[in-house]
Structures are given as C-alpha cells and as structure tokens.
Amino acid sequence: MTSLVTHLLIFSLTRASLCPIGAVLLPSSGLDLGYSQMYNLQFEEAHQTFQVWVQTHPQDPMGPTSDAAACLFAEFDRLGVLQAELFLNDDRFKQRQTEKPDPVAKRELEKALTTSEQLADAILQQASQDGNALLAKVLNLGLKADYLALVEKRDLASLSVMKSAGVLAEKLLAFNPTCYDAYLAVGVENYMLSLTPAPVRWLLRLYGAGTDKEQGLKMLQLTAERGHYLLPYARLLLAIAALRDKNEDQAKELLAGLAQEFPNNPLYRRELTRLLRRDS
C-alpha cells in the first residue's frame, strides 16, 4: 500500500497569502465556505463558491487548486474509495475494484491544476518563497498523487509524485514552520511508506523518501491539531491510523467529532456506527 489520500486541500483564504492557524473549520466566506461545503459532500455548491473566488481573485493559484480538490473529492465519493475498511487491509487495498474513472471529471481536474500551476509559477518567478504559491504547488502534487493511486490505481506512479510533494512541503516549512497544513504532505509520506515491507523501505530511503512511522504520525497530529483547511482531513487519516494500530477509542473520538462537524457527510457516521456495533 503506497498511497492513501495523501496531501489534499488548502490554505489561506480570506487573505490568500500566508498559511493560517485554526482549530476548527469555520464556514464564513471565500474559500472557507467552499471547503466546508466540500467536506459536507456539497460538491456543486463548493464548485460555485470556488468559482466566485477565482473570478474575484484571478491571480491566486489557490482558487483553481481548491476547485480541483472539489473535483477529486466528488470522484472519491462516486467511487467509494474513502471507506476506512479499504485501508485497514493491505491485500484488500491492492485488490480493490472500482468503477471506471469519469473522463469529464479527469479533464476538469487537469484543467484546474494546469491553471493553478501557471499562476503559481508566475508568482514564484518574482518571489521564490511565496508561501501561497508554494502550498498551491504542494497540494497540486498531492491531488495528482491521490488521483493516480486511488482512482487509476497506479500506485508506483503515485509514489514519485508523492515524494515530490513531500520535498516541496519541506522547502515551504523551512521558512514558514507555522504553515500547519503543509505538514500533512510530509506526514503522509512517512506514515504510508512505513507500511511497506522492510526491503522496500530500505530502497525508498536510498531515493530520499521518508519512511518513519512515528515521525509521520507526529506530522499528521500537527495538522490535526493546528491545521486549518486540512484539519478535518488529517483527523480522518489519524482515525484510520488508529484503527490499524487497534486503538479503537481514539478512532471513535476522532470520527465522532467529524460526524458532528459535517452532518451531511455520511462517511464519518457510518464508520463510527460500525465501530460501535463491534462493542454491542
């Protein structure tokens, strides 16, 4: 199992410039509202919100990145690839069967990512340490890696993209360590690759890939506690990690919080119910 839904989503919005620190996701305005809608599986509303942001902030690469995230999440929802049980058994993950990818969704995803990359590169030519542009590129790589692994089931191809996202995230964090959403990229790389067999981990280290499970969990915890737009997603990943480690109490706590915060998303409540039934 080489990739889980790796590094998605996002960053500053009411100010499209520096990574914010937030304990909860607040559906206020701008991209904030779009991400809340996306986590609630209200994809049409999320696209509309993100498109308004793109129109009013045409130079911000985070606008099209966010719209690409909504495209990917909608495809995840349609294919049912975010079921926790899928990630608890490595053999089941490798043998997973899904419907064919939607070619329209793929075109929209690629179009949004291309636009974001062009905007981000133009900014970085003038300011090489622009945090907003760098995070957009990190998230773009994460979205690509997730699509390759979880939609097209091209795990090896996803690995290379995942590593690039981790390297870029570390560059961003080197001068902006309070961009807590960016820790997700490094955390997922380390945690997910730590699950591979020992000889494979050794080879991955030769290529510079992080394979430290404990380090990965610490990075995920940072995003889960202090992230902003990736905070809910980091908590879902931690819940899955807790289930893999047989820590059902932690998983229940995380899933209960997510179910309460995003009542329109049945995924969290369904997984929580499944755990509670085990105890009855």
Q: Residue 191 falls within a domain, yes or no?
A: yes
pLDDT at 138: 92
pLDDT at 190: 63
pLDDT at 3: 38
Distance (Å, rounded) from C-alpha 195 to C-alpha 130? 34
* SS3 state of residue 185: helix
More reliable by pLDDT, 51 or 195: 51
pLDDT at 13: 30
Reported as a pLDDT band with limits 50, 70 and 90, residue 124 is: very high
Q: How many domains does the chain have?
A: 1
Q: DSSP code of 186?
A: H
Q: Residue 85 falls within a domain, yes or no?
A: yes
Distance (Å, rounded) from C-alpha 40 to C-alpha 132? 25
Residue 38 has pLDDT above 90, yes or no: yes
More reliable by pLDDT, 195 or 9: 195
Distance (Å, rounded) from C-alpha 127 to C-alpha 151? 35
More reliable by pLDDT, 208 or 167: 167
Q: Residue 5 falls within a domain, yes or no?
A: no
How would you class 236 by CB atoms within 10 Å of its CB: exposed for 0-12, middle for 13-18, buried for 19 or more?
Answer: buried
pLDDT at 4: 35
pTM exceeds 0.85 for this model: no
Give me the chain's average pLDDT, please: 78
Give the domain CATH number at 41. Answer: 1.25.40.10
Q: What confidence tens digit (pLDDT) does each residue in 173-194 have?
A: 999 999 888 888 777 766 555 4
Reported as a pLDDT band with limits 50, 70 and 90, residue 52 is: very high
Cα atoms in the 13 Å half-sphere on the side-chain side of 245: 15
Distance (Å, rounded) from C-alpha 68 to C-alpha 53? 13
pLDDT at 176: 92
Q: Residue 126 falls within a domain, yes or no?
A: yes
pLDDT at 116: 98
More reliable by pLDDT, 21 or 239: 239
Reported as a pLDDT band with limits 50, 70 and 90, residue 216 is: confident
Which residues form the domain of 59? 30-279
Question: Using DSSP, how many helices (H) and how many strands (E) does the chain show?
Answer: 14, 0
Residue 91 has pLDDT above 60, yes or no: no
> In the structure encoding, which two tokens stand for residue 268, read together?
């969290």
Q: Residue 10 falls within a domain, yes or no?
A: no
Mean pLDDT confidence for 45-72 = 96
Q: Residue 25 falls within a domain, yes or no?
A: no
- 209 closest CA partner among 250, 253, 160, 168: 160
Q: Residue 9 falls within a domain, yes or no?
A: no
pLDDT at 41: 93
Q: Residue 107 falls within a domain, yes or no?
A: yes
